[in-house]
């Protein structure tokens, strides 16, 4: 849907060349927004190259913690989407000080620099729910109980964002699907990659459940939030596939439907650093008119096709 206006709204996306950003930024551009991306390109991949010809895209190579940089570009934006993040429990545990400075301190800086009239849409993770109660769906009123440093920092950042004016937070389910800045360390992406390449997988904590969402539906959720900002602002929203609250074991069965030779079994080894085990309700954002479009099975089929191209495993955050 093209944005119809005499003046294109300006969007600042920090971390805009990342896994989600390299899908969201083209979506914003094709909808008629002027987009500025700030990214340090720390993973040495080259997303957004095929959009550099667009005059309404500006790319700034820099660090989201750079005060001077933030003070230069934040005042120019109508909408701020702070995607820059050290993502995942293992990556945060590897460098806790960096994780805090990027995932929390930089968000606080953005909130201090921005004016009250500027809009902020912030991506949280629903791993903040921690360990849920069996059979009870986590909704936006469920107390947050993050286990990992990653979850704790994201929850603290969300609290700061929601305490500022003109903000929305999206509590994302575990994201899956192909992206120009690909990640193989996300659960569905990882399991499908192992099924295609190794043909086997040893599961730990196989009964642990979580929710999932396709990366293009995540981009659509951001667009929906922009288009419906006035009636959604000031609140958090779970974003996930309502038909995909699955355990790891159930996920493997879904993958096996498309990779019949895939063998998996459970062993009493290992643990999830996030300890995430919960089912999630996405009814709140659905009540605003948002619907996911890409099923888990469609996403698995997409990944299988993509792994004919991606044959190595250097597309991870750790």
Is residue 299 domain-resident? no
Does a structural domain hold residue 256? no
pLDDT at 135 over 90: no
Ranking 125-129, 242-246, 250-254 by mean pLDDT, the lowest is 125-129
pTM: 0.94
* Angle subtended at Cα 296 by Cα 271 and Cα 293, rounded to the nearest 5 degrees: 135
**Residue the block writes with tokens 């551009």:** 29
Q: Is residue 70 part of a domain?
A: yes
Q: Does the residue 271 lie in any domain?
A: no
Is residue 286 in some structural domain? no
| Residue 219's CATH number | 3.40.50.720
pLDDT tens, position by position, 26-81: 999 999 999 999 999 987 778 999 999 999 999 999 999 999 999 999 999 999 99
| Cα distance between residue 49 and residue 60, in whole Å | 13
- Give the pLDDT confidence score for residue 2 in this predicted structure: 45
Q: How far apart are CA 120 and CA 165, in angstroms?
A: 9
Q: Domain containing 100: what range?
A: 10-176+212-240
Burial call 262-285: b when 16+ CB within 10 Å, e when fewer: bebeeeeeeebbbbbbbbbbbebb
Return phi, psi of residue 285, to 5°: -70, -30
Distance CA 264, CA 201 (A): 5
What pLDDT was estimated at residue 7? 76
E strand intervals along 196-261: 200-203, 209-214, 236-239, 245-247
Taking only the tens place, the pLDDT of each residue in 211-234 is 999 999 999 999 999 999 999 999
- Asked, for residue 289, whether it belongs to a domain, the answer is no
Total structural domains within the chain: 1
Residue at 135 is within a domain: yes
> Cα separation of 267 and 248, whole Å?
13
Q: Cβ(284)–Cβ(239) under 8 Å?
A: no
Tell me if 312 is assigned to some domain.
no
């Amino acid at each position: 849907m093209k944005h119809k206006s005499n003046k294109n709204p300006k969007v600042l996306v920090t971390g805009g060349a990342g896994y989600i950003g390299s899908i969201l930024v083209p979506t914003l551009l094709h909808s008629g927004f002027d987009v500025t991306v700030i990214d340090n390109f720390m993973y040495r991949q080259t997303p957004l190259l095929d959009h550099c010809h667009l005059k309404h895209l500006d790319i700034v190579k820099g660090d989201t913690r750079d005060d001077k940089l933030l003070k230069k570009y934040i005042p120019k934006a109508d909408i701020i989407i702070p995607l820059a993040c050290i993502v995942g429990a293992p990556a945060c545990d590897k460098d806790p000080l960096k994780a805090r400075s990027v995932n929390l301190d930089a968000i606080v800086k953005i909130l201090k620099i921005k004016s009250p009239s500027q809009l902020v849409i912030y991506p949280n993770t629903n791993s903040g729910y921690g360990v849920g109660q069996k059979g009870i769906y986590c909704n936006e009123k469920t107390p947050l109980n993050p286990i990992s440093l990653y979850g704790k920092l994201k929850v603290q950042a969300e609290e700061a964002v929601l305490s500022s004016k003109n903000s929305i937070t999206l509590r994302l389910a575990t994201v899956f699907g192909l992206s120009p800045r690909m990640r193989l360390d996300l659960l569905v992406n990882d399991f499908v990659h192992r099924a295609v390449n190794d043909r086997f997988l040893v599961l730990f904590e196989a009964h642990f459940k979580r929710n999932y969402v396709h990366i293009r539906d995540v981009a659509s959720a951001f667009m929906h939030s922009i288009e419906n900002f006035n009636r959604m602002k000031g609140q958090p929203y779970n974003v996930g596939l309502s038909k995909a609250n699955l355990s790891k074991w159930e996920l493997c069965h879904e993958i096996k439907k498309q990779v019949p030779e895939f063998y998996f079994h459970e062993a009493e080894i290992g643990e999830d650093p996030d300890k995430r085990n919960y089912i999630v309700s996405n009814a709140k954002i659905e009540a605003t008119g948002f619907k996911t479009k890409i099923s888990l099975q469609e996403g698995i089929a997409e990944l299988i096709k993509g792994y004919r191209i991606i044959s190595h495993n250097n597309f991870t955050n750790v």
